Structure 1
Amino acid sequence: MATDDAPTGGGLAAAVAALPRDSTRSPRTGWTRQHHEQVADRSLLALRRWASPGRGRIDLPGPASRAGRASDGLEGFARSFMAAGFRLAGSTADPHDHAGFYAAGLAAGSDPSAPDRWPTLTETPQARVEAAAVAIALHESRAQVWDHLDPGVQERVVEWLAGSLGARYGDSNWRWFQNVTQAFLRSVGGPWDAAEVEANLDFLDGCYLGEGWYSDGRPDGRSGNVDWYNPWVMQLFPLWWCRILGADAPVDRLEVYRRRMADLLPDLVGLFGVDGAPLFQGRSLVYRFATTGALWAGPVFGLDAVAPGRVREVGSATLRHFVEHGAYDEHDLLSLGWFGRHEPMRQPYSGPGSPYWSSLGFAGLVLPAEHPVWSDPEPDGAPAEVTTPVWPVGWLVGQHRDGIVRVVNHGVDHSGADPGPEDPMYCRLAYSTATGPVPSSPLPGLAPVDNLAALRGGQGRWSQRRPLELTGVDGRQASSEHRVVYLGADGELEPVGGGAVLQTWSVLRGPVEVRLVRLRADEGPLAEPAALVLSGWATPTRDVVRAPAVSAVVPLMGGLRTGESVHEEENPFGSALRVPWAETSAPVRPGDVHAVAVVLAEEEPELPELLLQDGVAEVRWPDGERDVVDLT
């Protein structure tokens, strides 16, 4: 049901652009707290025309998720309620009556007899996720919403949330949703299960890799399952669980979670380009600026691992990046996509309300205007040029003066310990803030996709980079290896005889990755000849939203010929995706070292030389710096 101040749509980006910019306090972005408030307010107001008559659901246009329309309507309500909760927590005013709107929705959604009632947590597993969003929002708006609800409504909300007790939550980040939901129940005198909470904590602790990084749902020490869920659930929710519990939060656990977040934040802040673009890697990227939620948690929980002004700079740049690139559509709704709508990013669990998990990007609004995160100046100066090794996940994170962040991946494959077809959002050798992968696995007969180190065998079969074994991360270098397993035309995996293993080493500096690859065959030669292919970054040539000027693969060693492929596919950055590659001119031989320079740049860089002697490769950069890679 629309309200008088619900806009008819399309004005959010223009309204935000019209706000005055503060070049003194925010020399990099110009944005202030007012810009964040304006985006939050206008986004919330735009949803009201899509609310059900009782306001219990927000039924947005678009295809339904696999959970169905009722669940999708709950999702629109619950996730946007988080943004309203953050907005209310840090302000003494509520000029748009967000509190009243969501209070009405709570009354209707929790009423089993209402036409827009919420599906219960036993009826729809997705409701277990949304219950956690409702719990966070209720906590943050406790004084404005919960405390003013009719006792009968409070009882119904507690009864609905209590469906989390005994419910089956997946062995993944979902365990945090159960704990956060029960934390709010406990805080209002509702039921909660200490044994369930403790079992979840034990499982989630088992997923911790070290130095701030978790592998989602993998308590076996493998770093395969790493993506943006690491900050926006696995790190953020433990701290919010403690925040909701207040004085009942275990002090030892709070300190553990604060320390883990402090370890993550310096790495996390390095995954955003100067323009605010987050690393384009992993699933659920339609959540966009939820990527900044954990950054805001730093100052919320008194952590100084990243300076407050720097937190605001990245948070503002990222929100501005999406606002200015069409994330909000003609109705001021967040679409399923990255910039604008991009239907191929839809996943089975994605509904029209799914993008509002981005509400986590407004978490900084719980802090008052006088807090240093809003009042300290942004850092001013040129972007740093540095390569950071992230050993728990096998990444090299490279920042360069062109503002693009490049990540070379030697540890993440989204797999277990058994071979499997590659996932393009996890298994590629590199990802960036300015490109996306070809959205296909290396299938038989397909031209080379981006960022491969793979064998191409008979019938055009490709070896799959899964499972991946990290073998080293240090300085500007990382390395990994994987067994050679082909994907056949029938979708079946075909192991290669001879104990064949592909070993890969990377040295990342600025816009250039030096990539070295060697085939090892411990049990004899390959049964059939194969070519080694090393490919570079995919950049669009049509419908271009963004494309760095240079994507190239230049041979440095090992008898390679070059070429390029154009894939008639699209990603959010454009279509007709061009991929440069190099390929051995003769069948690959075990023991031979092949090397290329893989370039992603805004202008042609000078390339290094490569020397190999006695199993040691020396990379000689044009400015005289050197990297030594031990291949023994």
Structure 2
Amino acid sequence: MRTTGTSATSTPKLMRGGPADDPALSPHTGWTRAHWEHLADGMLDAVRPYATPHQALIHLPGPASGSGRHSDGLEGYARTFLLAAFRIAGAGGTGGTAALAERYARGLVAGTDPASPERWPRMSECNQAKVEAASIALALHETRPWIWDRLDGPAQGRVVDWLSEMVGAEVPDNNWVWFQAIVEAFLRSVGGPWEQADIEHTLARTETWYAGGGWYADGADTPPPLRNFDHYSGWALHLYPLWYCRISGEAAEPGLADRYRSRLRDYLTDLQHLVGADGSPLHQGRSLTYRHAAAAPFWSDQIFGAQALAPGLTRRIGSGMLRYFTERGSLDRHGLLSLGWYGEHLPIRQSYSGPASPYWASKGFAGLLLPADHPVWTAVEEPLPVERGDFVRTLHAPGWIASGTRADGIVRIANHGSDHADQGPVSQHAYDPFYCRWAYSTATGPELGGPGPVAGPDGVTRPSTPDLDLPGGPLDSHVALVDTEGRPSHRRPLHRLAVSGASAASQHRACRPGRDGEDGPWLTTGSVLRGSWEVRAVRVDGDAPGSLLRIGGWAVAGRQPPAQRTGADRAVARTEDGLEAHAVALHGPLRPGVRSSTGRTSYGPHAATVHLESQREPHPGEVYVAAIALGRAVGAVPEATVHEAAGQQGVDVRVAWPDGHTDVLRLDRFSEPPTPSKGS
């Protein structure tokens, strides 16, 4: 593999005997359109043994989602139909795709027949059916000449009848509104029922979630600044609006497609910086088992003509992601996508995750819609931003600072703006390791709690509460006050203070698990990034009787337990392939440590997390500073000094970097954050 900074990989069974790499056309990944077609065909063949006789339900092996097995069978059909649709339409219905179209047409007819033993759950019976209806509608639009147009009148009528339950239906106030708009756009295009009010509601809600710079927050009825940021911004809130315009054609609202294209351009200008040289997307947010669906907004750039990135860069990103996951075991020995990140890792599940849920990764194959002679397939691959050189980039909308290093191809972010918290009391179950950490990267994932899903009294298997049942609680990329019983505080909700240049700062109350969030002092934290290092400063405002301050660094993982080393002021963990995590005390009485865990991260069975802990209870107003590093060549440690700020409104943390550059990080004295009314 030609990407940098990767561990050893092996060729998966599904790719053996496949197309040869083309280093001239694809100098970074070697992959061509033929690799995509070969993999798509193999994935679609792999699910066939699990289909019901008429192909309407695909019951893949694994624990059921919270919606139950019937819904999961529909999910198996709908999400693989999306992959089949891209393959069929991109090939113009020729070759082996004709049989594929026939197969999914049979399933469509049986699934929408209320008298069929393979009938799909209706939306009035199962909320999850609304999600899957959007994939079916989108796939039907793309395959219209080969499937829809060949159905007889009664069959078309039953499809319309099944989809029509979406009209006027209630949907959650987040990306789900677009499932409704997509379904109704298709219904409108075939003469079925639809409601203008539903479309207007979708468009209006989407505007309230637009945070600027191309970024959308995924719902949440909270006052600005918005803070629900993750991959849904790209694989849902950019994908569906433009597809709505594509399905609607001339019926689309004037200027809507131009508006959404412009926002996609801005978004991808940022998003390209959040892809590692090995092809990994940022490991942050929920539904990460969708994996290479993260490539969907990049393909959308070419499909919808936004023209944010060069075609060769688009394919380099898409092929890099697909090869990254494929070579690391995302497909099991049967050729099925597992619940996990590399191979199966069940703690990554959410309650809505079922055996077929990972097949939303089909969105990452959207580029197959583009013909073989499109520049996205014929242009020479171009390097990623992190392959061109080191960078520090401010992402204002989500409140992130990103740092990429060319030497190891890793991208890291410091997070001071996104926690996925709605308004209201904070409880133990509100903590979410996919959103609340201070840092995320393309080479590490948070430690997740619990041995895996547990069976509930209703017989449905669900994930255990992530993270909180780890011995010692959340640690990696975390800041907490730890009480006398060893219980750490958590961050949610956070209040953004500043995001500028290479630095960002936020504030939160040190909430105790299971309490109402009003029992701890306020912590003001700030980060400044350069190269492999983050200098993280913490100011404690208030009394913390009996508590110690803990600053967690990165959790690095591998097949073997990482090597560990601690000294007077530093903790280091190193994986067998050379990935290192460092936590160094720069200011304040801090002692280093390393915690080991097994089966907790998506990056390997064995993990080690470096951290620092205060040697005594923090004094009110006391400032602690740590240097946190992740990389394969982290370099010399920066230095930091703390000074009273002008006017004694806080402190300035002056950071002197080994290359002579200097940054100043301001930690103002605590002031109660404002509580604006909704919509203000």
The answer to which of 190-199 and 92-101 deviates more is: 92-101
Aligned to 2:661: 625
Aligned to 1:45: 45
- One-letter amino acid of the structure 2 residue matched with residue 206 of structure 1: T
Distance 2:470 2:351 in 1: 26
What is the DSSP-based 3-state SS (H/G/I as helix, E as strand, rest coil) of the residue aligned with 2:76? helix
Asked whether 1:388 is paired with 2:414, we answer no
Deviations 1:31-62 (A, max 9, x none): 11111111111111222222111111112122
Distance 2:654 2:517 in 1: 36
Residues 129, 549 of structure 1: alpha-carbon distance in 2 compared, 3 angstrom cutoff: same
Deviation at 1:548, TM superposition (A): 5.3
Task: Report matched runs for 1:401-412 at 5 Å.
Answer: 401=406, 402-412=408-418
Deviations 1:483-513 (A, max 9, x none): 12222xxx3346336xx31111101112110
Asked whether 1:398 is paired with 2:397, we answer no
Residues 103, 537 of structure 1: alpha-carbon distance in 2 compared, 3 angstrom cutoff: same
Asked whether 1:146 is paired with 2:169, we answer no
The answer to which of 586-595 and 537-546 deviates more is: 537-546
Deviation at 1:128, TM superposition (A): 0.5
Deviation at 1:186, TM superposition (A): 0.4
Distance 2:474 2:260 in 1: 42
Asked whether 1:563 is paired with 2:584, we answer no
The answer to which of 382-391 and 563-572 deviates more is: 563-572
Aligned to 1:4: none
Distance 2:555 2:192 in 1: 52
Task: Tell me, yes or no, if the aligned pair for 2:427 and 2:517 is still in contact at 8 Å.
Answer: no
1:528 to 542, 545, 551: 545
Aligned to 2:570: none
Deviation at 1:613, TM superposition (A): 2.6
- One-letter amino acid of the structure 1 residue matched with residue 494 of structure 2: L
Aligned to 1:415: 421
Deviation at 1:368, TM superposition (A): 0.9
Asked whether 1:471 is paired with 2:516, we answer no
Aligned to 1:517: 538
Deviation at 1:567, TM superposition (A): 3.0
1:456 to 482, 487, 510: 482
- One-letter amino acid of the structure 1 residue matched with residue 522 of structure 2: V
Deviations 1:157-186 (A, max 9, x none): 111111101222111111110110000000
Q: Which runs of 5+ in 1 are unaligned?
A: 1-9
Residues 414, 547 of structure 1: alpha-carbon distance in 2 compared, 3 angstrom cutoff: farther
What is the DSSP-based 3-state SS (H/G/I as helix, E as strand, rest coil) of the residue aligned with 1:336? coil
Distance 1:399 1:511 in 2: 8
Deviation at 1:147, TM superposition (A): 1.1
Asked whether 1:190 is paired with 2:207, we answer no
What is the DSSP-based 3-state SS (H/G/I as helix, E as strand, rest coil) of the residue aligned with 1:462? coil
1:601 to 608, 631, 645: 631
Deviations 1:302-322 (A, max 9, x none): 112121111100100100111
Aligned to 1:28: 28
Aligned to 2:673: none
Deviations 1:200-230 (A, max 9, x none): 2212221111111122122433433211111
Distance 1:495 1:546 in 2: 43
Deviation at 1:442, TM superposition (A): 5.4
RMSD over aligned Cα, in angstroms? 1.9
Residues 336, 445 of structure 1: alpha-carbon distance in 2 compared, 3 angstrom cutoff: closer
Distance 1:406 1:570 in 2: 20
Aligned to 1:496: 519
Distance 1:594 1:568 in 2: 30
Residues 475, 210 of structure 1: alpha-carbon distance in 2 compared, 3 angstrom cutoff: same
What is the DSSP-based 3-state SS (H/G/I as helix, E as strand, rest coil) of the residue aligned with 2:185? helix
Deviations 1:39-98 (A, max 9, x none): 111111222222111111112122222222221111111111111111122223232421
Aligned to 1:94: 95
Residues 389, 494 of structure 1: alpha-carbon distance in 2 compared, 3 angstrom cutoff: closer
Task: Tell me, yes or no, if the aligned pair for 1:547 and 1:573 is still in contact at 8 Å.
Answer: no
- One-letter amino acid of the structure 1 residue matched with residue 394 of structure 2: P
Aligned to 2:616: 586
Distance 1:463 1:174 in 2: 32
Distance 2:221 2:314 in 1: 31
- Which runs of at least 4 in structure 1 moved beyond 6 Å after TM superposition? 544-547
Task: Tell me, yes or no, if the aligned pair for 1:420 and 1:464 is still in contact at 8 Å.
Answer: no
1:538 to 555, 561, 574: 555
Distance 2:213 2:106 in 1: 43
What is the DSSP-based 3-state SS (H/G/I as helix, E as strand, rest coil) of the residue aligned with 2:84? helix
Task: Report matched runs for 1:13-412 at 5 Å.
Answer: 13-16=15-18, 19-92=19-92, 93-96=94-97, 97-220=99-222, 221-380=224-383, 382-401=387-406, 402-412=408-418
Aligned to 1:430: 439
- One-letter amino acid of the structure 1 residue matched with residue 526 of structure 2: W
What is the DSSP-based 3-state SS (H/G/I as helix, E as strand, rest coil) of the residue aligned with 1:124? coil
What is the DSSP-based 3-state SS (H/G/I as helix, E as strand, rest coil) of the residue aligned with 2:512? strand
Task: Tell me, yes or no, if the aligned pair for 1:443 and 1:462 is still in contact at 8 Å.
Answer: no
Residues 46, 151 of structure 1: alpha-carbon distance in 2 compared, 3 angstrom cutoff: same
- One-letter amino acid of the structure 1 residue matched with residue 137 of structure 2: A
- One-letter amino acid of the structure 2 residue matched with residue 516 of structure 1: A
Q: Which runs of 5+ in 2 are unaligned?
A: 1-11, 450-466, 562-574, 646-651, 669-680
Distance 2:474 2:221 in 1: 34
Alignment TM-score, normalising by the size of structure 2: 0.87
Alignment TM-score, normalising by the size of structure 1: 0.93
What is the DSSP-based 3-state SS (H/G/I as helix, E as strand, rest coil) of the residue aligned with 1:618? strand
Aligned to 1:6: none
Task: Tell me, yes or no, if the aligned pair for 2:313 and 2:383 is still in contact at 8 Å.
Answer: no
Distance 2:323 2:471 in 1: 41
Deviation at 1:150, TM superposition (A): 1.6
What is the DSSP-based 3-state SS (H/G/I as helix, E as strand, rest coil) of the residue aligned with 1:463? coil
Residues 154, 569 of structure 1: alpha-carbon distance in 2 compared, 3 angstrom cutoff: same
Aligned to 1:480: 506
Deviation at 1:346, TM superposition (A): 2.5
Distance 2:294 2:16 in 1: 24
Distance 2:474 2:56 in 1: 49
Deviations 1:599-631 (A, max 9, x none): 111134111111233322221111111212233
Distance 1:432 1:201 in 2: 33
- One-letter amino acid of the structure 1 residue matched with residue 477 of structure 2: N
Task: Tell me, yes or no, if the aligned pair for 1:619 and 1:626 is still in contact at 8 Å.
Answer: yes
Deviation at 1:458, TM superposition (A): 3.0
What is the DSSP-based 3-state SS (H/G/I as helix, E as strand, rest coil) of the residue aligned with 1:288? helix
Residues 214, 603 of structure 1: alpha-carbon distance in 2 compared, 3 angstrom cutoff: same
- One-letter amino acid of the structure 1 residue matched with residue 116 of structure 2: A
Task: Tell me, yes or no, if the aligned pair for 1:335 and 1:355 is still in contact at 8 Å.
Answer: yes
Query: How many pairs does the alignment contain?
Result: 612
Residues 494, 251 of structure 1: alpha-carbon distance in 2 compared, 3 angstrom cutoff: closer
